[in-house]
Structure 1
Amino acid sequence: MLQRIITFFERYSFGVCTYLGERFNVSIAKIRLFFIYSSFLAVGFPLMFYFFAGIVLDIRNYVKRKRKRALDW
């Protein structure tokens, strides 16, 4: 049951932790733990950052896909 929940969130999350992990060469699990612990300490501010970063990354991927289609003749 726990594995199904983890798989669901990994599949449908924004991919912010994965992006940051690959970008800064840090373990994804450490970044996720950082967001969880800092959310408790900072009363949800890191969650707002996470959602904002997710929206920015989603828009960025959308623009890249559109640009690639426009350049594929």
Structure 2
Amino acid sequence: MLTLIHNIRYFFERRGFYVSSRLADKIGMRAKSVRLFFIYASFFTMGIGFVVYLTLAFWLKLKDLVYTKRSSVFDL
């Protein structure tokens, strides 16, 4: 079982991680910089989605507080 995992890991290290190196060679940068860019971009996009979610949740809660239906005049 350990050999299978090692072979799969070796396959992805040799074939899958070559994308950053090829892109870096084409652009003329270091591969480490390209990898860091993808890491920071993924954190940034995840953060943007979380901020949008919190903003919408706050807006809906505020809307519910403002537009509540009152059953009578004495609820004011």
Which TM-score band (shorter chain)? Answer: 0.3 to 0.5
TM-score by length of 1: 0.45
Select the structure with the greater relative contact order (CA < 8 A; seq sep ≥ 6).
1
TM-score by length of 2: 0.43
Tell me which structure has the larger Cα radius of gyration.
2
